[in-house]
Amino acid sequence: MSKSEKEDIVLERIYTVPLKIAYYVPRVKRTPRAVRFLKEFIMKHMKTDKVIITPEVNEILWSRGIQKPPRKIRVRVTKNSEGIVKVYPFMEKE
């Protein structure tokens, strides 16, 4: 993360997003539904329509394939001064 990128962050939050809703659709549509639900959840809670899901979060969602996405995911969400929201995986500091 560059210095200018850190300065632009206006808001940062940690969310545990329940992806249980993905299990209400047929097996071969579950992970795509989980990705869409994650995006909708972030849009609703951060009040913006410009959401970028980072490749790391995408890999976590797809780690067990199309049929078994995780039941919930913990993410760190940042919003910059232009209203663009980025979703990162939550990493606890040890």
Q: What is the pLDDT along the chain (94 residues), one digit of tens a residue?
A: 555 555 688 999 999 999 999 999 999 999 999 999 999 999 999 999 999 999 999 999 999 999 999 999 999 999 999 999 999 999 887 5
Residue 94 counted as domain residue:
no
CATH (domain of 73)? 3.10.440.10
Q: Is 15 left (phi over 0), alpha (psi -120 to 50) or beta?
A: beta
- Number of domains within the chain: 1
Amino acid letter at 78? T
Domain range for residue 47? 3-89
Give residue 2's pLDDT. Answer: 56
Total-model pTM: 0.88
